[in-house]
Amino acid sequence: MKQVLVDRYGTPWEVARCAEVPDVGAPAADELVFDVLAFPINPADLWFCRGSYRLKPPLPATPGAECVGRVVAAGASVTHVRPGDLVINLQRENWTQRRKVKGDDAIPLPAGIDLRQAAMVRINPPTAMLMLSDFVDLQRGEWVIQNVANSAVGRLLIVLAKQRGLRTVNVVRRPELAAELTALGADSVLVDGDDLADRVAAATGKAEIRLGVEAVGGAATARLVECVANDGTVVHYGSMSGEDPVAGRSNFIYRGVKLTGFMLGRFLARRTPEQVRAIYADLGAQVKAGTLSAPVDSVYPIDDIREALRHADRGGRHGKILVSPNGAI
């Protein structure tokens, strides 16, 4: 079977390759085997290949934080899924044609769900959902501000915020995205820049914004921090610039703004397995219904992983780059 291997850490499309490896074999009683039908290339996967992600396993290593699979065999004690069912995998190393995992790591998805969208259920939808729920007790009508608003997380957050009766200020770096994000439910779309706080105040009628989420880092963090109200919270959850967050100390000393961080695994770990399954059941149902989705730019076969990685690293994409290891999408 085919699997992506990273032989050394470096430029993703130079260090990753599609290799022929032995099959995973039959599952033990508490395991199951699934065919990987599709996986996305997320920013964190690119950092994994570069060796700048928090996980840096011994090499060769297989990247891949998420995928959708179809169960082909299940051990005797695995009862919640059967062969033929669609699953997402709570474990990594998913850039491969076939995976064998513990039954408890496989979460079922509804039959008939769009496979492209199913491949992206594991990470970004719960990230958007939990950032809205776990930091500030927001009331209907309140505003939330975010940057990278046209990212998959950003688009999901717009929809999930709307469902809760929240309003969103969406900061992007390309003005042409305004119509698209407005159609999704964005209340305001602004291009990042030095006078951001003034423009946000004008767009929201000087609303007291108690939650900001940001994934650019560097000076963009400072611009977001300046948009939230005194005692507000800014959640840093990624760094598309590769820079650490920077923000003027007066925001913290005089205004009491809190700068904190989010990592999905940390926030899922605070929940029971039942609660985690309930989150994915909710999100899976919403993805199947088409309420939640993320645009897809292109789909590549696993043999073309290098080209797929090069494309995923380019700015200005029209959505995610997906890989179809078994030709299912």
Ligand X SMILES: NC(=O)c1ccc[n+]([C@@H]2O[C@H](COP(=O)([O-])OP(=O)(O)OC[C@H]3O[C@@H](n4cnc5c(N)ncnc54)[C@H](OP(=O)(O)O)[C@@H]3O)[C@@H](O)[C@H]2O)c1
Tell me which residues touch ligand X (CB under 6 A).
Answer: 42-44, 123-124, 127, 148, 150-153, 173-174, 215-216, 237-238, 240-241, 262-264, 315-317, 320
- Tell how strand 211-214 and strand 143-146 pair up: parallel
CB-wise, 97 or 135, nearer to ligand X? Answer: 135
User: Coil, helix or strand for 151?
Assistant: coil
- Tell how strand 296-301 and strand 320-324 pair up: parallel
36 and 69 Cβ atoms separated by less than 8 Å: yes
Provide the angle, in degrees to the nearest 10, between the axes of the packed helices 152-163 and 124-133: 50
To ligand X, the closest distance from the beta carbon of 19 in angstroms equals 25
To ligand X, the closest distance from the beta carbon of 137 in angstroms equals 21
To ligand X, the closest distance from the beta carbon of 165 in angstroms equals 23
Q: What residues have CB less than 8 Å from 272, skipping those under 6 apart?
A: none
To ligand X, the closest distance from the beta carbon of 42 in angstroms equals 5
Phi and psi angles of residue 260, each rounded to the nearest 5 degrees, phi first? -135, -175
To ligand X, the closest distance from the beta carbon of 104 in angstroms equals 21
To ligand X, the closest distance from the beta carbon of 80 in angstroms equals 25
CB-wise, 97 or 170, nearer to ligand X? Answer: 170
To ligand X, the closest distance from the beta carbon of 312 in angstroms equals 7
CA–CA distance, 147 with 321 (Å, rounded to integer)? 21
CA–CA distance, 268 with 324 (Å, rounded to integer)? 27
CB-wise, 15 or 153, nearer to ligand X? Answer: 153
CA–CA distance, 297 with 220 (Å, rounded to integer)? 26
User: Coil, helix or strand for 144?
Assistant: strand
CB-wise, 71 or 118, nearer to ligand X? Answer: 118
User: Coil, helix or strand for 213?
Assistant: strand
Q: How far is CA 193 from CA 23, 197, 221, 249, 259, in A?
A: 51, 9, 11, 20, 20
CB-wise, 71 or 294, nearer to ligand X? Answer: 294
CA–CA distance, 213 with 100 (Å, rounded to integer)? 36
To ligand X, the closest distance from the beta carbon of 119 in angstroms equals 12
CB-wise, 88 or 123, nearer to ligand X? Answer: 123
Q: What residues have CB less than 8 Å from 83, skipping those under 6 apart?
A: 71, 72, 73, 74
Residue nearest to ligand X (CB): 238
